[in-house]
Amino acid sequence: MKTKFFIPIGIALFFMFCKPLQAGNDSIPEKIVEIQTSFGTMKVKLYNETPQHRDNFIKLVEQGFYDELLFHRVIKDFMIQGGDPDSKGARAGRQLGGGDLGYEIPAEFNQTLFHKKGALSAARTSDEVNPEKKSSASQFYIVQGKTYTNETLDMLIDRRKQQAIKIETDKFIKANQSEIKRLQKLPVRDSLNAFLDVIYQDAEAKANLSSFEVDSLKRVVYTTVGGTPFLDGAYTVFGEVIEGLGIIDSIANVSVDRNDRPVQDIKMRIKVSQ
């Protein structure tokens, strides 16, 4: 989030399977933007299924906000990130990533939009301070990722499910302290065990486990084209690179400092092309 995976079948599957998964409202033409860099230009399609992210991004692009900003965080086999307003003209070596515009965008999760290679997604603050998973108004990342085996995907999905169950269970316990304390005083352990069973059943029901499922079509993409499946359901995906996927690899391969900032600045310029 090391393999080279752009074999012909991977490319074919990428376009074959991802288009129907992400079809939007045909009556509304999808917006296309161009992200220009010193490594070349990427064409990016913005999804109609995420209108708040789409419209906010277009607004900033049309204002020229992104011009001369940096890709300030680059992690090979993971993603390339930019959009920090503090990155414009930032001195060499300065740690970046904390800049914002003073507002956030509500999450727009959609099971048909996922973190395949080339996905354009919104960065955000951590769950601890942002439980609603609201997006940064300006910072975004583009997925490079890597390919996964079916076995690795299975283990990854199970781990995310268990984490979701634990979180919801903890919430349930905190909200029902008085009842739990009362049952703990009973001599019959079966009563407590039965109640604990209810806790886990309720937690599993409340946890949106479907957010961590990878259906058969996504599985094909993740095992051939690649991506970062462990980010699905946690960050809003609002577009995808449709031309220039190789540029992601070029940027991801640059030398970075200990803060993952490229040693040589990589500036961007973005415009609406369609």
Residue 44 structure tokens: 């990016």
- The pLDDT > 70 percentage for the chain reads 77
- 16-40, pLDDT tens digit by residue? 344 444 444 556 889 999 999 999 9
pTM of the model: 0.77
Residue type, 256: V
For 8-147+225-272, the fitting CATH number among 1.10.2020.10, 3.50.50.60, 2.40.100.10, 2.30.110.10 is: 2.40.100.10
Of 16, 47, 3, 81, nearest in space to 236 by CA: 47
Residue 149 structure tokens: 């085996």
- 165-211, pLDDT tens digit by residue? 777 777 777 777 777 676 666 655 566 565 666 666 666 555 555 55
Q: What is the pLDDT of residue 216?
A: 75
CA atoms of 90 and 230, how far apart (whole Å):
31
Any idea where the domains of the chain sit in the sequence?
A: 8-147+225-272, 151-210
Q: If you compute the radius of gyration of the chain from its CA atoms, what whole number of angstroms results?
A: 21
First-to-last C-alpha distance (Å) of the chain: 30
DSSP secondary structure letters along 105-136: E-----TT---BTTEEEE----TTT-TT-PEE
Q: What is the pLDDT of residue 195?
A: 64
Residue type, 67: D
CA atoms of 95 and 78, how far apart (whole Å):
19
Instruction: Supply the angle between the helices 177-184 and 189-206 in degrees, to the nearest 10.
Output: 150
CA atoms of 235 and 123, how far apart (whole Å):
7
CA atoms of 231 and 245, how far apart (whole Å):
19
Band of the pLDDT at 219, cuts 50, 70, 90? confident
CA atoms of 154 and 106, how far apart (whole Å):
30
Average pLDDT over every residue of 125-144: 95
Task: Please give the backbone phi and psi of residue 200, each rounded to the nearest 5 degrees, phi first.
Answer: -70, -40
Residue 129 DSSP label: T
Asked if residue 8 lies in contact with residue 220, where contact means CB atoms within 8 angstroms, the answer is: no
Least confident of 57-71, 166-180, 188-202, 241-255: 188-202
CA atoms of 86 and 156, how far apart (whole Å):
35
pLDDT: is 128 or 13 the higher one?
128
Please state the separation of Cα 158 from the chain's center in Å: 19
